[in-house]
Amino acid sequence: MLNENNAMMVPDQYGQIVYNRSVFSAIARNVVEETEKVEVAETSKLFSSSHITRIEDGKLYISIPVRIAYNANVSDVCTGLQSRIFETISYMTDYKPEDIEIQVVGFIF
């Protein structure tokens, strides 16, 4: 039985594809790791791939904590990350996230 809080069903021309929420977390993490002047913040035990994504009522919510280089424009970096995460998830899974929240929890010196 499919647990609605852990997986997302996306209709396809051949049927339905079921994505585990860890797939969306991995995609978001990869986008952050490929971006200059930003890194995923893993400073607490609470952070894990399962805490990045949340699925409620068939909608995908992403909240990812990051650290940004001290000399970077925080607003531009966050806006760019949101856009790239949205585009990458849309391209790779044919699903559009409902909300992408970038949490700046620190800076890289």
Classify residue 23: in a domain, yes or no. yes
Q: What is the CATH number of the domain that holds 95?
A: 3.30.70
The whole domain housing 74 covers: 7-108
Q: Which residues, listed in sequence order, are joined to residue 80 by a DSSP beta bridge?
A: none
What percent of the chain is helix, strand and coil (3-state, nearest 5)?
A: 35, 35, 30
Which pLDDT score is estimated for 72? 95
pLDDT in tens, 5-62: 677 776 777 888 888 888 999 999 999 999 999 998 875 544 455 568 888 888 899 9
Q: Which residues contact 48 (CB under 8 A, 6 or more apart)?
A: none
> What are the distances in angstroms from CA 58 to CA 4, 41, 50, 80, 83?
7, 27, 17, 25, 21
Classify residue 2: in a domain, yes or no. no
- Domains identified in the chain, total number: 1
Classify residue 93: in a domain, yes or no. yes
